[in-house]
Amino acid sequence: LALGAVHVQRQADDDELGADLLCHLAYPGGYLVAGLQGDLRGDGCGQKLGAVAGGKATLTRVLGKIRPYSLFVVCSLVVAAVSVGAQLYIPILCGSAIDLMLGKGTVDFGGVMHIIIEVLVVAAAAALAQWLLSVCNNRITFLVSRDLRNEALRKIQTLPLSYLDSHPSGDIVSRMVADVDTFADGLLVGFTQLFSGILTILGTLLFMLSENVPITLVVVCITPLSLVVASFLAKRSYKYFQSQS
């Protein structure tokens, strides 16, 4: 969104119509913030983007675009839970197999073979769930991108010919194609990492609590420290990244 705001502020013309179009098309994030139905007259695109970029308004509009495809979102959550659970369960099975091979001459080959079969089945389930997760997320991303481009095209069709003649057509097309693709890539990665990441954290904590409570408490206490360090670095590097772009 920061890149979108900078891009809009650099590219927006002084005339009201140019600012209106660029606010819709300069960057999908800004496009979502502005909304095709919004009245932009009098405020300026850069001011509107600066007021809400990175805030709840952007997230609300993104969720509004995703809401018609809630079924795919639910399916994505379910298969993500299956995938994460299977991936976390395999190390437990491997540990159980090692426990059956500790003593010399006391290896339980039958038990080990049974665990190996379980690992193969769980790994197959994890692979299938991961494939279904990518299918659901790709479908969500494709449908949202399609809606964005359709709405942008409808917006362009309402503009007078004088504006289209006075601005490079390639620039407008690039905003509809390249920038929406950038937004789609971010949405796809965000969905995949968000669902899998949250479920992995929760599942890991549950498995750790079932195995060893003290170690789990140590990890829980140390994790906030790493988050503080990451937040510190992100805040310091953000302004440099924004100035570079």
Residue 43, both tokens: 């405020």
Q: How far apart are CA 124 and CA 87, in angstroms?
A: 10
What pLDDT is stored for residue 55 in this prediction? 61
**Tens-level pLDDT at each residue, the chain (245 residues):** 333 333 333 333 333 333 443 444 433 334 333 333 333 333 444 444 444 445 677 778 878 888 888 888 889 889 988 988 898 889 888 888 888 887 777 788 888 899 999 999 999 999 999 999 889 888 988 888 888 888 888 888 888 888 778 878 777 777 778 888 888 888 888 777 877 888 888 888 888 888 888 888 888 888 888 888 888 888 888 777 777 76
What pLDDT is stored for residue 199 in this prediction? 85
Q: How far apart are CA 18 and CA 151, in angstroms?
A: 17
In order of 158, 161, 177, the CA distances from 167 in angstroms are 15, 10, 17
Please provide residue 227's backbone torsions phi and psi, each rounded to the nearest 5 degrees. Answer: -65, -40
CB 46, CB 5: distance < 8 Å: yes
Q: How far apart are CA 153 and CA 177, in angstroms?
A: 11
CB 42, CB 57: distance < 8 Å: no
Q: How far apart are CA 112 and CA 96, in angstroms?
A: 8
Residue 237, both tokens: 């590097």
Q: How far apart are CA 175 and CA 160, in angstroms?
A: 18
Alpha helices in 158-212 (DSSP H): 161-166, 169-174, 180-211
Where b means 16+ CB within 10 Å and e means fewer, 82-100 reads: bbbbbbbbeeebeeebeeb
Three-state DSSP class for residue 51: helix
